[in-house]
Amino acid sequence: MLKGSLYVALGAVLGANLRYGVARFVGRVVPIDFPLGTLLINLTGSFILGAFFMWARDHLPVDSNWRLVVAVGFCGGYTTFSSFTWESYALIREGRWEMALLNIFASNVLGMLAVVAGAMLVSKFMTPAV
């Protein structure tokens, strides 16, 4: 168990640092009022996860430790959006369109409501720092 956690941690450190670097770089290079860095991270993370899983499944047997490093660790540290998109895609491939749409709807709409609820709760009950 600890060995698996170390593989996840290694990938997560790499993914989180790359996320930070990409977001800062894009913010400096393209100074627009839109979260372009986050969009780029979400898209590239989803691409990496989709490519890795299909490559590992169809073209070359990959040791499960690499799955932990790349899929869980790196992509999880880089963006959890990639997991969301892969799981939605997997449901669609299985012909489970209703579940895929539910996942897409729930993750986006309920996620937005959760952000609003958390922000409102803190705004209402916590005193701002001076």
Encode pLDDT of 33-51 as tens digits: 888 888 899 899 889 988 8
- Exposure string for 59-69, b = 16+ CB within 10 A, e = fewer: eeebeeeebbb
Place of tokens 């880089």: 78
Q: Running DSSP on this structure, what letter comes out for residue 80?
A: T
pLDDT tens, 2-39? 688 999 999 999 999 999 999 999 989 998 888 888 88
* Distance (Å, whole) CA 14 – CA 11: 5
